[in-house]
């Protein structure tokens, strides 16, 4: 099983807070932090940590003052869909908001590029998971200029030599703004190797139930592998901050990637130091009376005390009304 010390390693080993010395090529997609689990053991470990995530999600929902946003990025077949499915399995759907970002449509293109992201940011008390995110705007648009052209930006903006630098700044400022409003970020790059992607694409073709996932554009996009790696390198380098760090998660082993992602979510939620909110004072004052009404087994001494206090409060209210009526009569 995964002990506490290993959990701490999973939370810190793949973290990128500053991009100055960051090199994507230094991160091994097959790394498992020394863990060697069978499929059964991995599932058991994940279930245990998801249970902890459920507890924290309930507290987040109850307190209703903070939000966790998880942005999942990765090459095709890196496991974004599967990670979301397994990490949120068993979590109360009321407290989870999942948003997928494909190529923008006409309504989205009529707005600025961060508009659709801001609209999808969940309210306080929820966990938001983005399947792809605003980072597509410094990845796909960088490699496929025709996608960027659809945004109909002013010519002088498109020709500005600092175009991408400004985009990185926009994204950092957007995340910093949300951070100051009580939003925490976990940005994950699911890191797979080119060979692993090839094997997964072949698996999709071989398995009837997975063939729907295969797109004719998949082999074409593989030709841009190196360009995408360079784009991810620069994007992570330019947007990794202490407030919104990146995590380069090894994803050649799906079980390990899922375990790391759930651990990162737990770590961020635990930073909130949440406790169950105090109930309504009226409920506390009448706790034993309410128990009695519901056929529970209240503390009888406390119940007598509560009844007496309630009777005294009622008498005081009557005395107050009589006093007010006398004053009204005198005034007449």
Q: Is residue 53, in this structure, part of any structural domain at all? A: yes
Domain boundary among 249, 270, 291: 270
The answer to whether residue 315 sits within a structural domain is yes
Q: What tokens does 68 get?
A: 């966790």
Whether residue 324 lies inside any domain: the answer is yes
The number of distinct structural domains making up the chain is 2
Question: Are 305 and 183 contained in the same domain?
Answer: no
Angle, alpha carbons 121-123-128 (nearest 5°): 50
Residue 49: φ, ψ to 5°: -75, -35
Residue 189 and residue 89 in one domain = yes
Lay out the sheet containing 96-100: strands in order across: 15-16, 246-250, 183-191, 67-74, 127-131, 96-100
The answer to whether residue 117 is domain-embedded is yes
Residue 296: give the domain boundaries.
281-331
Nearest to 92 by CA among 44, 126, 124: 126
Residue 17 is given by DSSP the state S
Same domain as 124, residue 165: yes
Q: Which pLDDT belongs to residue 300?
A: 62
1 Cβ contact list (under 8 Å, min separation 6)? 41, 44, 45, 48
- Entry pTM: 0.84
Distance between CA atoms of 92 and 45, rounded to whole angstroms?
20
Contacts of 224 (CB under 8 A, 6+ apart): 143
Do residues 110 and 167 both lie within one domain? yes
Is 77 in the same domain as 170? Answer: yes
Is 50 in the same domain as 143? yes
Among 248, 270, 292, the domain boundary falls at 270
**Last residue within a domain, chosen from 270, 296, 320:** 270
CA–CA separation, 75 and 121 (whole Å): 23
pLDDT at residue 161 in the model: 96
Same domain, 303 and 233: no
Q: At what angle do helices 80-87 and 254-270 cross, to 10 degrees?
A: 60
66 and 185 fall within a common domain? yes
Residue 296 is predicted with a pLDDT of 66
Residues 133, 65 share a domain: yes
Residue 275 belongs to a domain:
no
Q: Quick check: is 169 in a domain?
A: yes
Q: What are phi and psi of 316, to 5 degrees?
A: -65, -40
Each of the 332 residues of the chain gets a pLDDT tens digit; together they read 566 667 788 888 999 998 888 999 999 999 999 988 988 999 999 999 999 999 999 999 999 999 999 999 999 999 999 999 999 998 999 999 999 999 999 999 999 999 999 999 999 999 999 999 999 999 999 999 999 999 999 999 999 999 999 999 999 999 999 999 999 999 999 999 999 999 999 999 988 888 888 888 888 899 999 999 999 999 999 999 999 999 999 999 999 999 999 999 999 999 999 999 887 777 766 776 777 777 666 566 666 677 777 788 888 888 888 888 888 877 76
Q: Nearest to residue 190, comparing CAs of 279, 52, 76?
A: 76
The CA distance from 161 to 327, in Å, is 81
- Asked if residue 164 belongs to a domain, the reply is yes
Question: Which among 56, 183, 186, 189 is positioned nearest to 121, based on CA atoms?
Answer: 183
82 in a structural domain: yes
CATH of the domain at 33: 3.40.50.300
Residues 105 and 236 in one domain: yes
- Three-state SS for 326? helix
Among candidate residues 216, 206, 171, the one with its CA nearest the CA of residue 76: 216
Tell me, what's the pLDDT at 328? 80
pLDDT at 188: 98
Q: What is the pLDDT of residues 156-194, one digit of tens each?
A: 999 999 999 999 999 999 999 999 999 999 999 999 999
């Amino acid at each position: 099983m995964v002990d506490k010390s290993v959990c701490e390693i999973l939370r810190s080993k793949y973290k990128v807070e500053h991009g100055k010395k960051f090199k994507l090529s230094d991160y091994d997609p097959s790394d498992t932090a020394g863990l060697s689990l069978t499929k059964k053991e991995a599932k058991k470990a994940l279930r245990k940590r998801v249970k902890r995530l459920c507890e924290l999600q309930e507290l987040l929902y109850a307190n209703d003052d903070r939000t966790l946003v998880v942005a999942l990025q990765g090459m095709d077949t890196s496991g974004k869909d599967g990670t979301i499915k397994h990490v949120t399995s068993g979590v109360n759907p009321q407290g989870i908001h999942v948003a997928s970002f494909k190529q923008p449509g006409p309504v989205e293109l009529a707005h600025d590029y961060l508009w659709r992201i801001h609209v999808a940011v969940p309210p306080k008390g929820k966990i938001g998971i983005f399947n792809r995110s605003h980072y597509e705007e410094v990845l796909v648009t960088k490699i496929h200029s025709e996608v960027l052209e659809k945004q109909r930006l002013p010519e002088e903006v498109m020709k500005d030599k600092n175009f991408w630098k400004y985009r990185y700044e926009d994204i950092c400022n957007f995340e910093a703004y949300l951070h100051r409003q009580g939003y925490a970020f976990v940005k994950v790059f699911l890191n797979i190797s080119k060979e692993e992607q090839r094997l997964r694409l072949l698996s999709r073709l071989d398995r009837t139930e997975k063939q729907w996932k295969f797109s004719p554009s998949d082999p074409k996009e593989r030709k841009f592998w190196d360009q995408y790696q360079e784009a991810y390198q620069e994007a992570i380098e330019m947007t990794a901050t202490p407030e919104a760090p990146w995590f380069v998660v090894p994803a050649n082993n799906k079980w390990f990637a899922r375990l790391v992602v759930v651990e990162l979510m737990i770590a961020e939620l635990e930073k909130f130091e949440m406790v169950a909110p105090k109930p309504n004072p009226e409920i506390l004052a009448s706790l034993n009376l309410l128990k009695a009404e519901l056929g529970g087994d209240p503390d009888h001494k406390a119940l007598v005390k509560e009844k007496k206090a309630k009777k005294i409060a009622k008498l005081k209210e009557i005395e107050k009304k009589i006093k007010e009526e006398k004053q009204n009569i005198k005034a007449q």
